[in-house]
Structure formats: C-alpha cells, structure tokens
C-alpha cells in the first residue's frame, strides 16, 4: 500500500505559493511544511542541504506537504535521478540555456521510452507504492530554470519541449546575465521586458510560469502572470523575524 500519492503536475489555472528550504534542518523543514504552502522546495544548489541531509528533510516534509521539489545542484542525470529516487516529486534544474539542455533534463527525469532515468526508485517506491515506476512519467515535474540571456533568447524552444510543463525564473541570475547587476530590478525596462517575454511564451505553449520572490514582490509577480511563486524561505525568514524583533525592542 502506498503511503503517499504522487501529486499531478502544476495546473496553469491555479496559483501555487511555495516555501524554499536552504537549511539542513529536519525541524525547520517540518515546521515550514505544516504551514500550508502549496509546495516546498529543498535547495541543493545554493542551500546547505547535502545528499546526506536530503532523505531526512524529505521525510520531515512529506507527511504535511505532498508536493516536494528539489533544486538540484546541476543538470546532471545522477543528481536528478538520486533526488527523485529519494522521493522528490520533481526537480528544478538550474542554468538551462537551450532547448537541448532542457530536453536532457527531461530525459533524466523520465523512465524509458520517454527518457533514460535508471530504474531503482528506493524510497520513492516505499512511499508511493509498487506502481511508482509505471506512474512516475506522468507525474514527475521537470522544471528548467530560466536565468540567462541564452534561455531568454530560446524561451519558445525551451517551453515547447515535451515534458516541460513549468519553468522557474531565477531573477537575480537573470538580472546579472542582462548586465543589470545583483538585486531587484523591477521598473527597469530590460528586466520587466524579460519577465513579460517569459510569461507570454509560457502562455503560448500552455506552460506554467514560476519565479523566485519574497513577501514584498509576490503580489506583483502574480499580477505579471506568474502562477508558481516562492514567497519565503527558511533562512531569510528567520533572519527577517529575528532582526525585526531585535530592532523593535532596541527601539523601545
């Protein structure tokens, strides 16, 4: 008997609000997953979660948040397959620059004949049941990150790849790739136009646009047409809350 059910792919007509986990803490992961986010993403690229941390983090999240993504360190078949075998419902793949790279990521997520993922689902078969391999291709999310000039130039080709039904914008890397520097660049034409280009391409191909944000920017991102929006993270949220408490008390 399966303990969990694989969630369906993101729906273009729904809004999904998520939380980002950078810390290798099962306690903070469990606490975040109990808050009711539509998805939780564990960050293995810029977060501090290692392979040895991932299984425990997934175990802490899964009972409370059925959609658990992992941002893998790179577009690497071994890393992608390992995260999915550990029980992630999908992966966010950084620095996708072309349709060819997006297609390679999809193939790493899919079992033959759609891809080249090796069959050995380990924990995934334990929590999703004996039919996991048969069901995985229809449910697994392969989400390329759009964060470079190359990806922006080839956005229509990337979002037309079979198996790509959602993308995720990394606004900081995209800003730097556009020559705008680090930080937020809302209101600057190059950045605003880039986001519009991405959302419009997703609309043409029935792909769900996602983006990294924060509580201040989330409403604007939704107005811009993004449907998957990460609104907070464990490390930043903790720092913000602690800083506000300290500032308020010292001010008093």
CATH of region 16-251: 3.20.20.60
pLDDT on residue 9? 95
Task: Tell me: pLDDT of 30 over 80.
Answer: yes
Q: What percent of the chain has pLDDT over 90?
A: 96
Instruction: Judge whether 66 and 128 are in contact, CB under 8 Å.
Output: no
Which residues have a Cβ under 8 Å from the Cβ of 113 and sit 6 or more positions away? none
* Residue 3: per-residue pLDDT: 78
pLDDT of residue 4: 86
Q: What are phi and psi of 237, to 5 degrees?
A: -65, -40
Per-residue pLDDT, averaged over 171-190, amounts to 96
Could you confirm whether 46 is annotated as catalytic? yes
Average pLDDT, rounded, for the chain: 96
Cα radius of gyration (the chain): 18
pLDDT of res. 1: 57
Q: Using a cut of 0.75, tell me whether the model's pTM lies above it.
A: yes
pLDDT tens digit sequence for 203-233? 999 999 999 999 999 999 999 999 999 999 9
What's the confidence (pLDDT) of residue 251?
A: 82
Give the C-alpha separation, 150 to 177, whole Å: 9
Integer Cα distance of 164 and 142 in angstroms? 6
Residue 194 confidence (pLDDT) above 80 = yes
User: Is pLDDT at 188 greater than 80 in this prediction?
Assistant: yes
Name the active-site residue from 4, 46, 64, 185: 46
Task: Flag whether pLDDT at 10 surpasses 90.
Answer: yes
């Amino acid at each position: 008997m399966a303990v969990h059910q694989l969630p369906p792919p993101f729906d273009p007509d729904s809004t999904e609000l998520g939380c980002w986990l950078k810390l290798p803490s099962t306690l903070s992961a469990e606490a975040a997953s109990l808050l009711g986010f539509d998805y939780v993403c564990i960050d293995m690229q810029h977060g501090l979660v290692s392979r040895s941390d991932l299984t425990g983090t997934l175990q802490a999240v899964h009972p409370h948040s059925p959609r658990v993504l992992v941002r893998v360190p790179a577009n690497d078949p071994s890393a992608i397959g390992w995260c999915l075998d550990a029980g992630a419902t999908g992966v966010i793949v950084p620095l996708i620059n072309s349709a060819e790279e997006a297609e390679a990521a999809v193939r790493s997520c899919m079992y033959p004949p759609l891809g080249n993922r090796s069959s050995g689902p380990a924990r995934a078969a334990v929590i999703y049941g004996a039919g996991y391999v048969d069901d995985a291709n229809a449910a697994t999310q392969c989400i390329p990150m759009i964060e470079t000039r190359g990806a922006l130039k080839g956005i229509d080709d990337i979002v037309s790849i079979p198996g790509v039904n959602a993308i995720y914008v990394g606004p900081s890397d995209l800003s730097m790739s556009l020559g705008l520097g680090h930080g937020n660049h809302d209101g600057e034409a190059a950045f605003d136009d880039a986001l519009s280009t991405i959302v419009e391409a997703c609309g043409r191909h029935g792909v769900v646009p996602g983006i990294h944000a924060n509580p201040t920017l989330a409403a604007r991102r939704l107005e811009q047409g993004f449907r998957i929006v990460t609104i907070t993270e464990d490390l930043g949220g903790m720092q913000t809350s602690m800083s506000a408490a300290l500032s308020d008390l010292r001010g008093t």
